[in-house]
A and B are shown apart, each in its own frame.
Chain A
Amino acid sequence: MSRLSERPGEVIDRTRPMDFSWNGKPYRGYAGDSIASALAASGVRVFSRSFKYHRPRGILTASFHDPNLMVQVGDEPNVRAGHRLVEEKMEVSAQNAWPSLGFDAKGVNRLLGRFLTPGFYYKTFMSPRSLWPWYQRVLARFAAGGVVGVDPQPGRYDHRYAHPDVLVAGGGPAGMAAAIDAAEAGAAVILVEEEHRLGGHLRWGDSDDLGALEELSAAVLSHPGIEVMVDSVVTGRYDHNWVAIAQRGVEGVDERLVKARVKCLVVATGTIERPYVFEGNDLPGVMLSTAVRRLINLHAVRPGERAVVLSANGPGDSAIADLEEAGVEVAEVIDARGDDTVIKASGRMGVQGVIDSRGRRHDADLLVTAVGWTTTTTLLNMAGDRPMYEPRAARYLSKSLPYDVLATGGIVGDGSTDQLVQHGTAIGREAARRASVVKFQWLTAVPTGVTRQPPDTSEIEVPPLEAERHPELFRSSTHGFVDYSEDVTSKDLFAAAAEGYDSMELAKRYTTVNMGPIQGKLEAVNAVAIHGEATGSSPLETSTTTWRPPYAPVSLGVLAGRQYEPVRYSVIQPWHERREAKPLVAGSWIRPEHYGDPVAEVTAVREAVGIIDVSPLGKIDLRGRDVPKLLEFVYVNKWSKLDVGKVRYGIMCNEDGVIFDDGVTGRLGADQYMMSSTSGGAAGVWNWLDDWLQTGFPDWDVKMTAVTDGYASINVAGPNSRELVGRLTEIDLRPEAFGYMEVRTGVVAGVPGCFLWRIGFTGELSYEIHVPSAYGLWVWERLLEKGEDLGVRAFGIEAQRIMRLEKGHFIVGQDTDGLTQGHGMGVDWAIKLDKPDFAGKPELMWQAERDDYRRLAAIQTEDPAIVPPEASQIVAGDVIKGRITSSRMSPTLGRSICLGQVDPDLAAPGSRLHIRLSDGVTVAARVLEHHAHFDPEGTRLRG
């Protein structure tokens, strides 16, 4: 192979040479060359070794979909050398060959071919069973493909949304015509072309084709209504015309995923040339007619010296002319429209001779086949179409499409450029019309009040585009490769059918035909036909396989895009960061776990005063006459008589009686309540209230506003908390003026609009101050400043967890699980079964009648130094009797403390338990009388 002199349609820029390497050796190509064309121009013939037999492989299609041209480029595996343009300093190497392409040690598998029949691995390696792990390692070593490194150059990826009226997939003549006319009709159009240039097959055609190409592409590129994306691929059409495009060649990024909601999709993806199955059909030098035409006309590469051509169609005949013009000696033309065909290609590292069906041998280094087409119906499949095989044309054709999908070009039929353009034009106009119908429907639904003329309802007449008659040519009389990526031969398909894998789907799964990186794009029709032959049915009677997304493999990087992951921060976060708080991920919040010494933080709270940022606490502002009704319904306890200024604790259960949140609600005014929920449960509670208000009790007068982010919430806890808070507010904090479980509103540190409630998760005297968020950091810093002499210290979640455990307060989701109903948590006092109704009431009623459920219990190990890890099991012998749900070493008590869920027979105070530690050792423990390990009377809290 060598470079030709200048061609009229060539896409290479001879003024811009590109130096790159192939397997470590220097090569030179030109800008516009694919890796494959640049190498071919320098005489490279073998590009890869095959998956199973390690046979040498060369150019077959010279396009993206060439199974033999998968190479490693730097740290990127499985690059399509038939598509990827060569770049300066690119490092390209062959995959799947060891030690070298020329000599591949695993090529020994070729000799073993007759034993490596389909599914051979299902039939062996079974005994002795002890050797199976060794077999696994050997088999794994034969995995094909490129290499990923632990630390590669990161790629740059991006996403964007698009809302075109019409999206045209495929930039051949019909696709371009459709785009132009849709845009002319006023539609906003996106035109997507997989290759680097528009034009489809016109690019490698004659001067008329090139003239038409120039005219069409100029019209497309200059039209303001058309956005053109080349080197981009429509990877999928999903429900409701949600279309994904992997766009390359965008400045600043390697790839971008465009997610388009398309009003009308035009599929103009054309056809792919189909290989022919015969002995030796995978030898380097066996090429499709489109491959040689691409090489000659686009890249000015002479694909061989002496060629045999097997042609069954006009484009194949044109390839002969191209070959001759390129100075390739055409030794023989075998016309497949008659009875003649090719039996075999022979040679070692490439074609050396061709044997035809008359038994003649022709010396040649190139065998060109043109035996038919595969329609690229993937996108149509995804739109619900089940294309039918049309024997007259020897290919699948579309059967029925939804309203918002149209097809044009080779996927529909054949024709002259004019006919293709005429069809595309009509389809483009119809697509614009249908898009306007969809848009009208959407516009009438958008609330912005824009009015529009109703769209034209009369369909545009589309001229017929018939698929030409074509002989059915799939396999010669000798066997050869059907699936190049998977090394599946026609013989394998016969063997699978004989073994009973006699539906196409089973045969596919058994032989792995169509399952490789090319996804059956080249071989699907051949596989179906040969399977049909093997089972005595015609392809028409055999089902086709389902094409699944993506249309072409798409990088994980572009699918992920920029990886934005929402995170929430409290307004006090800058302070936490300055103090190097250990971050704790809690749902989407990032919170301070501690500031270096959680035990000291506990001590500060117990002995002096501490402040904790509890801003993520859920807060819902409730207004209206019927708020008490709502509270009465969603909480298990009673709410009708909550006075202004009071706060009450409540538990919420689902309709199955399972606890899902707890919190306090306070009455701030006659018709104004503030509900709090756990941080993790905030969104769920908000949605739950909305659900009941909208679907259950739409007549109730309740106005609800989620104000979680409106307040920075700071809990000031410890014996000195009253003194500290008192230094910042005029609110009367005396116990008789502001008692436990009460709420006050007022000014704190000069900030109006605060509310305070006197509650205490830590068990200490404490005030939870809710400050309008913008001032949260200010108040936080004032507390630290004003409390310096009182020993104030910030504490984190860990210290809070320790203290709440000392107090025996449970955490929903940690001390409860997905099946814990209300009575299991020792809150029977709160569950008011005499209320007429509330969420979950029937289940709680039935639970109260039973005695078979686990109870929450405070547990202490007999050895105070042992802290059983959370989730340790409570056992009686091998029987599980419960588990530790929370455990810590208590700095206050100087011993280990736990909460756990325990079977009813062990839940009574004083019961002796056995806890199994992770090393299997069992330790004894006992159940306490109260949940609280510390200050069970609550004297500190109420003080």
Chain B
Amino acid sequence: MLVILCPHCGPRNSDEFSFQGEIVARPGPASDQETWRDYLYMRDNVAGWQTERWFHVSGCRRFLNVERHTVTNEIGVVTPVGGVQ
């Protein structure tokens, strides 16, 4: 059980969060198949530090950007997804 320092709630166990995976930008609706299916399926699957998205579903219900080392599970900076104060 990891500790994630939620910017709204403080230190919380990771079972309160839902892991959303690496952050993938949504291409426009007029994208070609190659681009769209890259967005749907292809992933970098980094072994090391990556910024990924977590959803504090059992806490503040905010989507967060979380820096995490995928080998050690060490967690870096956690920030709210843009637009939310």
Determine whether A and B are in direct contact in the complex, meaning some CB atoms lie less than 8 angstroms apart: yes
- A contacts, CB < 8 Å to B: 238-240, 242, 259, 261, 384, 441-442, 445-448, 655-656, 687, 690-691, 694-696, 698-699, 836-838, 841-843, 846
Chain B positions within 8 Å of A843 at CB level: 36, 40
Q: Answer yes or no: B11 CB below 8 A from chain A CBs.
A: yes
Q: Tell me the bound Cα distance from A384 to B6 in angstroms.
A: 25
Interface residues of B in 31-74 (CB under 8 A from A): 31, 33, 36, 39-40, 53, 55, 57, 61-63, 72-73
Chain A positions within 8 Å of B82 at CB level: 698
- In the complex, the answer to whether A842 meets B29 with C-beta atoms within 8 Å is yes
The listed residue (A239, A240, A442) touching B10 by CB distance below 8 A is A442
Given contacts A695-B63, A841-B29, contact A687 B18 (CB under 8 A): yes
Nearest chain B CB to A707 CB, angstrom units: 15
Q: Tell me the bound Cα distance from A223 to B33 in angstroms.
A: 68
Among residues of A, the one whose C-beta sits closest to the C-beta of B39 is A655
The listed residue (A238, A687, A842) touching B1 by CB distance below 8 A is A238
Chain A positions within 8 Å of B30 at CB level: 842
- In the complex, the answer to whether A695 meets B53 with C-beta atoms within 8 Å is yes
- In the complex, the answer to whether A699 meets B9 with C-beta atoms within 8 Å is no
Nearest chain A CB to B5 CB, angstrom units: 5
- In the complex, the answer to whether B11 meets A442 with C-beta atoms within 8 Å is yes
- In the complex, the answer to whether A655 meets B61 with C-beta atoms within 8 Å is no
- In the complex, the answer to whether A691 meets B63 with C-beta atoms within 8 Å is yes
Q: Which of B8, B10, B31, B57 has most A Cβ within 10 Å? A: B10
Chain B positions within 8 Å of A846 at CB level: 33
- In the complex, the answer to whether B1 meets A242 with C-beta atoms within 8 Å is yes
Known pairs A698-B84, A843-B40 / 17 extra A-B pairs, C-beta < 8 Å: A240-B73, A240-B75, A441-B5, A442-B5, A442-B11, A445-B6, A445-B7, A447-B9, A655-B40, A656-B40, A687-B18, A695-B53, A696-B26, A699-B83, A836-B29, A842-B33, A843-B36
- B contacts, CB < 8 Å to A: 1-3, 5-11, 13, 18, 20, 26, 28-31, 33, 36, 39-40, 53, 55, 57, 61-63, 72-73, 75, 81-84
- In the complex, the answer to whether B81 meets A694 with C-beta atoms within 8 Å is yes
- In the complex, the answer to whether B11 meets A445 with C-beta atoms within 8 Å is yes
Chain B positions within 8 Å of A446 at CB level: 9-11
- In the complex, the answer to whether A695 meets B81 with C-beta atoms within 8 Å is yes
Q: Which of A238, A239, A441 has most B Cβ within 10 Å? A: A239
Given contacts A239-B1, A698-B83, A842-B31, contact A687 B57 (CB under 8 A): yes
Given contacts A698-B82, A846-B33, contact A690 B61 (CB under 8 A): yes
Chain B positions within 8 Å of A694 at CB level: 62-63, 81, 83-84
Chain A positions within 8 Å of B20 at CB level: 691
Chain A positions within 8 Å of B75 at CB level: 240
- In the complex, the answer to whether A239 meets B73 with C-beta atoms within 8 Å is yes
Q: Tell me the bound Cα distance from A447 to B75 in angstroms.
A: 19
Nearest chain A CB to B31 CB, angstrom units: 6
Among residues of B, the one whose C-beta sits closest to the C-beta of A835 is B29
Chain A positions within 8 Å of B83 at CB level: 694, 698-699
Among residues of B, the one whose C-beta sits closest to the C-beta of A241 is B3
Q: Tell me the bound Cα distance from A181 to B5 in angstroms.
A: 29
- In the complex, the answer to whether B63 meets A240 with C-beta atoms within 8 Å is no
Q: Could you list some 21 contacts between A and B, CB below 8 A?
A: A238-B1, A240-B2, A242-B1, A384-B72, A442-B5, A445-B5, A446-B10, A447-B8, A656-B40, A691-B55, A694-B63, A698-B82, A699-B83, A836-B29, A837-B28, A838-B29, A842-B31, A842-B33, A843-B36, A843-B40, A846-B33
- In the complex, the answer to whether B3 meets A261 with C-beta atoms within 8 Å is yes
Q: Tell me the bound Cα distance from A836 to B30 in angstroms.
A: 9
Nearest chain A CB to B33 CB, angstrom units: 7
Among residues of B, the one whose C-beta sits closest to the C-beta of A654 is B40
Chain A positions within 8 Å of B11 at CB level: 442, 445-446
Q: Tell me the bound Cα distance from A261 to B1 in angstroms.
A: 9
Chain B positions within 8 Å of A655 at CB level: 26, 39-40
Among residues of A, the one whose C-beta sits closest to the C-beta of B63 is A694
Chain A positions within 8 Å of B13 at CB level: 261
- In the complex, the answer to whether A837 meets B10 with C-beta atoms within 8 Å is no
Nearest chain B CB to A439 CB, angstrom units: 10
Nearest chain A CB to B21 CB, angstrom units: 12
Among residues of A, the one whose C-beta sits closest to the C-beta of B29 is A837
Q: 4 nearest interchain CB pairs?
A: A698-B83, A446-B10, A837-B29, A445-B5
Q: Tell me the bound Cα distance from A846 to B13 in angstroms.
A: 42
Q: Tell me the bound Cα distance from A562 to B16 in angstroms.
A: 20
Among residues of B, the one whose C-beta sits closest to the C-beta of A837 is B29
- In the complex, the answer to whether A690 meets B63 with C-beta atoms within 8 Å is yes
Chain B positions within 8 Å of A656 at CB level: 40
Q: Tell me the bound Cα distance from A185 to B1 in angstroms.
A: 28
Chain B positions within 8 Å of A842 at CB level: 29-31, 33, 36
Nearest chain B CB to A657 CB, angstrom units: 10
Q: Tell me the bound Cα distance from A331 to B64 in angstroms.
A: 72
Nearest chain B CB to A445 CB, angstrom units: 5
Among residues of A, the one whose C-beta sits closest to the C-beta of B78 is A445
Among residues of B, the one whose C-beta sits closest to the C-beta of A656 is B40
Nearest chain B CB to A841 CB, angstrom units: 5
Chain B positions within 8 Å of A447 at CB level: 8-10
Chain A positions within 8 Å of B7 at CB level: 445
Q: Tell me the bound Cα distance from A239 to B8 in angstroms.
A: 23
Chain A positions within 8 Å of B36 at CB level: 842-843
Q: Which of B28, B36, B62 has most A Cβ within 10 Å? A: B36
Chain B positions within 8 Å of A838 at CB level: 29
Given contacts A240-B73, A694-B83, contact A445 B10 (CB under 8 A): yes
